[in-house]
């Protein structure tokens, strides 16, 4: 089965072509980072307008790279939600038009399901059941994944997502958007124990996250030490690297501890890390170390499959097509918030 997938839930316009769930024939990603950078975050209205401009050429490039025409496509897989409504609508409307004109069936794919199964795009694949930590600018969630059809949220952030915390702290420090890459770079020159920033563990045994208290704590510290903390004209202050390293350590400590705790609670041996924050070298190192110490195997797909992409939507879409009831109708709509089931823990 040849699947053409489209992802447009946030600030990447992406299209991929995949044969079954194994052979990735094309994977095109057009990032809007330059457009949103000067605003310090994604501006939804600008994002949807840019998707509108980019979707046609991105899909066309994916077909060209895969060396196929639309007539060879057996199914369309489209991100249905969660995400920015205007952005999602561009992808879904485009897919509906293709589907109607070319008579190609389509399925809606949950963006989080895409992330959860992105681990299968790597050579070394996890086995069911596994725990997945999805940490990005929009999500910080833990999932218990038992099959391609069954997965549930077992923990989520109660306020900011991990990547969002990196982006906001970068802004406080006068660093450019997105904050994650620059903070992790500066952290390598800083002391992670220099400043004691708080870790929010929430209730005992809770698998939820909270990063807004940490962000406020960094903001308070920076306000009290403005001269040495803030970056001016791209020159970090004498304390900037220590603040970055201490903040980063607090985030990755909580993320990795809760992922390992989740695997223990569910008696699971495989742990998957994905989402844009998975690009953080310290998070990768710590999760790997803690996984090994607990006899677990940690899977980290290549970064191009961790950040938003359409290859993961193609793979999850292929498995939706395997469930006959999942094939959707033309009155299908997008959704902004997750509809995933949550078990009573
Ligand atoms: O998955 P992604 O590309 O887009 C979504 O948010 O869905 O993730 C982007 C997020 C941003 O918040 C960015 O700051 C963060 O991932 N990020 C990082 C790193 N690289 C990107 N966070 C921490 N360390 C990094 N090296
Ligand atoms: Zn995402």
pLDDT in tens, 70-108: 999 999 999 999 999 999 999 999 999 999 999 999 999
* pLDDT confidence of residue 229: 87
Nearest to 179 by CA among 195, 162, 197: 162
Mutate to test the pocket of ligand 1, among 276, 302, 309 (most ligand atoms within 8 A of CB): 276
- The whole-model pTM stands at 0.92
267-279: average pLDDT: 96
Q: For the chain, how far is it from start to end, CA to CA, in angstroms?
A: 38
User: Which atom of ligand 1 lies at the shortest distance from residue 10's CA?
Assistant: 7
Of all protein residues, whose CA lies closest to atom 8 belonging to ligand 1? 276
> Bigger pLDDT: 60 or 339?
60
Q: How confident is the model at residue 340 (pLDDT cuts 50, 70, 90)?
A: low
**Range with the lowest mean pLDDT among 284-288, 311-315, 339-343?**
339-343
Residue 342's pLDDT band, with cuts at 50, 70 and 90, is low
- Mean pLDDT, rounded, for 226-240: 86
Using alpha carbons, select from 73, 56, 55, 80 the residue that is nearest to residue 328.
Answer: 80
* CB-side neighbour CA atoms (13 Å) of 168: 19
The CA-CA-CA angle for residues 41, 303, 117, to 5°, reads 100
- pLDDT digits 0-9 by tens, 253-263: 999 999 999 99
**Ligand 1 centre and the CA of 247: distance in Å?**
15
Decide: 77 and 84 in contact? Cβ < 8 Å. no
Distance 35 CA to ligand 2 centre (A): 18
322 CA from centroid of ligand 2 (Å)? 23
Which pLDDT band holds residue 167 (cuts at 50, 70, 90)?
Answer: very high
Pocket of ligand 1 (CB under 6 A): 10, 136-138, 163-164, 166-167, 178-181, 184, 275-277, 279-280, 307-308
Instruction: Indicate which ligand has the atom closest to the C-alpha of 167.
Output: 1
What atom of ligand 1 comes closest to residue 279's alpha carbon? Answer: 26
User: Count of CB atoms within 10 A of residue 97's CB?
Assistant: 10
Asked whether the beta carbons of 188 and 236 are under 8 A apart, the reply is no
Average pLDDT, the chain: 94
- Residue 130's DSSP bridge partners are 145, 270
């Amino acid at each position: 089965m040849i699947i053409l997938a489209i992802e447009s839930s946030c600030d990447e316009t992406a299209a991929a072509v995949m044969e079954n769930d194994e052979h990735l024939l094309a994977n095109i990603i057009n990032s809007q980072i330059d457009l949103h950078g000067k605003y310090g975050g994604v501006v939804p209205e600008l994002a949807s307008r840019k998707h509108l401009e980019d979707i046609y050429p991105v899909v066309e490039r994916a077909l060209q790279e895969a060396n196929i025409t639309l007539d060879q496509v057996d199914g369309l897989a489209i991100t249905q939600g969660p995400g920015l409504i205007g952005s999602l609508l561009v992808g879904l409307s485009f897919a509906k038009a293709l589907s109607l004109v070319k008579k190609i069936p389509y399925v809606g794919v949950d963006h989080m399901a895409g992330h959860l199964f992105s681990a299968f795009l790597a050579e070394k694949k996890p086995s069911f059941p596994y725990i997945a930590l999805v940490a990005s600018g929009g999500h910080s969630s833990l999932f218990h994944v038992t099959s391609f059809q069954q997965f549930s949220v077992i923990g989520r952030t109660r306020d900011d997502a991990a990547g969002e915390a990196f982006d906001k702290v970068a802004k406080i420090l006068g660093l450019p958007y997105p904050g994650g890459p620059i903070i992790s770079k500066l952290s390598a020159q800083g002391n992670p124990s220099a400043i004691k920033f708080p870790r929010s563990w929430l209730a005992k045994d809770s698998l939820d996250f909270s990063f807004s208290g940490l962000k406020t704590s960094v903001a308070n510290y920076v306000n009290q030490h403005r001269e040495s903390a803030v970056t001016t004209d791209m020159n970090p202050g004498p304390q900037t690297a220590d603040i970055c390293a201490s903040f980063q350590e607090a985030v990755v400590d909580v993320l990795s501890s809760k992922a390992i705790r989740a695997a223990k609670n569910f008696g699971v041996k495989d742990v998957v890390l994905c989402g844009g924050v998975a690009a953080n070298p310290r998070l990768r190192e710590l999760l790997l170390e803690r996984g090994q110490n607990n006899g677990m195997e940690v899977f980290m797909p290549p970064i191009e499959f961790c950040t938003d992409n359409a290859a993961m939507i193609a793979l999850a879409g292929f498995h939706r097509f395997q469930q006959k009831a999942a094939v959707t109708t033309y009155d299908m709509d997008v959704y902004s918030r997750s509809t995933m089931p949550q078990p009573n823990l």
